[in-house]
Amino acid sequence: MGRLDNKVAVITGAAGGMGKADALLFVQEGAKVVLTDLQAEKVKEVAKEIEAMGGEALALKHNVASEEDWARVAEEAIARFGKIDILVNNAGISSATPYMEQTVESFERVMKINLNSVFLGQKAVIPHMIENGGGSIVNISSIAGLTGGSGAGPYTASKGAVRMLTKATAVDFAKYHIRVNSVHPGFIETPMTKDMFKDERMTTWFQSMTPLPRLGKAEDIARGVLFLASDESSYITGVELPIDGGYFAK
């Protein structure tokens, strides 16, 4: 028995990093997955890997900032698997441009990809969840969505807004048995952070901020996402789950 038997999950940003780790774990636990990413070829490779494991996966090219793309993703997911039980809004970009060098355009780009994507994804999928009698949405925020940090203004703003959009959506749609929670990763080794972690001084600094004596892995996040996606958390909605090696324990 898998923890996601008979469930259909849509996961964005699934070409690598945390999205791919979520996809592999979900399939091991019995889910069928719709994997989306801007990187069409890479996300197809992940779907092939899953099919080779005996799982079922549909790979779609998708810009999460586009409402038209979201309508197509929801339609193709329903056409292939008949329903959507789980949505993981994982795709995102980082931004390390100093504040005074940011422009309205660079600020809005981060907002569109990290925040508008969550608004649009929820809007596209919730009607299907209502029809289906319920669902679980997991929005990937960050420790940067819980506290300020230097040099990442738009990123921090977008991830803080994802946290509060999660709570507002949880309240609005609880009556339909739709749960909405956010996950807040700490310092995790993925393609997004690999260049940063190549710098030994940076890695030493990140580790000094984290009580558990290692950086996080995509699989550490996937296990928390699985819990919130599954029926094991059926009375949990509107919460934020830091998966951060103890960063917020201090």
Ligand X SMILES: NC(=O)c1ccc[n+]([C@@H]2O[C@H](COP(=O)([O-])OP(=O)(O)OC[C@H]3O[C@@H](n4cnc5c(N)ncnc54)[C@H](O)[C@@H]3O)[C@@H](O)[C@H]2O)c1
Tell the burial category of 250 from Cβ atoms under 10 Å away from its Cβ (0-12, 13-18, 19+): exposed
Task: Give the Cα separation of 200 and 187 in Å (integer).
Answer: 14
Is residue 63 a contact residue for ligand X (CB under 6 A)?
yes
Q: Active site residue: 99, 155, 176, 247, which one?
A: 155
Q: Alpha-carbon Rg of the chain, whole angstroms?
A: 17
Window 105-164: residues binding ligand X (CB under 6 A):
113, 140, 142
Is residue 38 a contact residue for ligand X (CB under 6 A)?
yes
Nearest to 180 by CA among 127, 93, 128, 122: 122
Shorter beta-carbon distance to ligand X: residue 113 or 165:
113
CB atoms within 10 A of CB 207: 15
Q: State the sign of the Cα–Cα–Cα–Cα dihedral 21, 23, 26, 28.
A: negative
Buried b or exposed e, range 210-247, using 16+ CB within 10 angstroms:
beeeebbebebbbebbbbbbbeebeeebeebbbbbbeb
Annotated active-site residue 99? The verdict is no
In the numeric block, the tokens 């060098």 are attached to: 101
Shorter beta-carbon distance to ligand X: residue 175 or 201:
201
Which of 17, 135, 153, 160 contacts ligand X by CB under 6 A?
17
Least distance from ligand X to the Cβ atom of residue 146, Å = 10
Stretch that binds ligand X, among 80-88, 119-127, 181-189, 227-235 (CB under 6 A): 181-189
Is residue 202 a contact residue for ligand X (CB under 6 A)?
no
Is residue 91 a contact residue for ligand X (CB under 6 A)?
yes
Least distance from ligand X to the Cβ atom of residue 1, Å = 29
The catalytic site residues sit at: 155
Q: Which residues bind ligand X (CB under 6 A)?
A: 12-13, 15-19, 37-39, 62-65, 90-93, 113, 140, 142, 185, 187-188, 190-193
